Amino acid sequence: MGTVTLGVSIAVPEPYGSLLQGRRAGFGDPAAHGIPTHVTLLPPTQVDAAARPAIERHLAGVAAAGRAFPMRLSGTDSFRPLSPVVFVQVAEGGSACGWLQERVRAADGPLVRELQFPYHPHVTIAHGIPEEAMDRAHAELADFEAAWTATGFALYEQGADCVWRLQREYTFGDQGSPPPARRVLGASRQADHLSRPPAPSV
């Protein structure tokens, strides 16, 4: 069956997601249009396609044990010079994201992997573009604020065109309805910088 490349993330909801995606495109990031805004829980990970059912069961279990939590984005920061990334900071909800990503990558699960850098939740707004444009992204979104309640996360797969598409949504166990996992059929929704090389955080 070969392999597939998967990622797991928390989507930044509307209107914030489209706003940040548009700004990212405006800064000249060529990946912006194919990468809707998110906070990564699992960076790009290649797995055997045959492992997909086990992965989906594992993620459903992680979601069932999770609880909704407040997320807040505030201001900008950068991983430069270590990595050419400017991002919006996760000011609230970071510890919950950390809890989730540890369980997604649990040693007894099908997505076990080491990270190149310590986990640091963030929302990428510019990556690998000229320094002047990176500086502009850092400055122009310095006052950005957004807040919502995270009620779950989602599984994405990278296509042959390098676009990430939503495969299945997982709702936390305290949310009742909709069910803990929902498969998305024929979806074309795409993920954020899951297609990027790991930065000093993922």
The pLDDT of residue 104 = 98
CA distance 165 to 74: 27
Q: Give residue 186's domain range.
A: 3-195
Name the more confident of 6 and 34: 6
- Mean pLDDT confidence for 175-182: 53
CATH of the domain at 126: 3.90.1140.10
CA distance 153 to 87: 20
- Residue 194 predicted with pLDDT over 60: no
- The full length of the chain comes to 202
- Residue 182 predicted with pLDDT over 80: no
| Tens-digit pLDDT profile for residues 47-85 | 999 999 999 999 999 999 999 999 999 999 999 998 999
Whether residue 182 lies inside any domain: the answer is yes
The pLDDT of residue 137 = 98
Q: Give the chain's domain count.
A: 1
Whether residue 201 lies inside any domain: the answer is no
With CA atoms as reference, report the closest residue to 96 among 148, 60, 57, 165.
148
DSSP structure class, residue 13: P
Whether residue 200 lies inside any domain: the answer is no
Mean of the per-residue pLDDT values of the chain: 87
Whether residue 86 lies inside any domain: the answer is yes
| Tens-digit pLDDT profile for residues 1-15 | 699 999 999 999 999
Whether residue 165 lies inside any domain: the answer is yes
- Mean pLDDT confidence for 167-191: 62
* CB contact at 8 A, 34 and 187: no
The pLDDT of residue 176 = 63
* CB contact at 8 A, 21 and 11: no
* Strand arrangement, sheet containing 85-92: 122-127, 85-92, 69-78, 145-150
* CB contact at 8 A, 53 and 155: no
φ, ψ of residue 79 to 5 degrees: the values are -95, 0
| Tens-digit pLDDT profile for residues 113-157 | 989 889 999 999 999 999 999 999 999 999 999 999 999 999 999
pTM, rounded to two decimals? 0.84
The pLDDT of residue 31 = 85
Residue 127: enclosing H or E segment and its boundaries?
strand 122-127
Cis peptide before 197 (omega within 30 of 0): no
DSSP structure class, residue 12: P
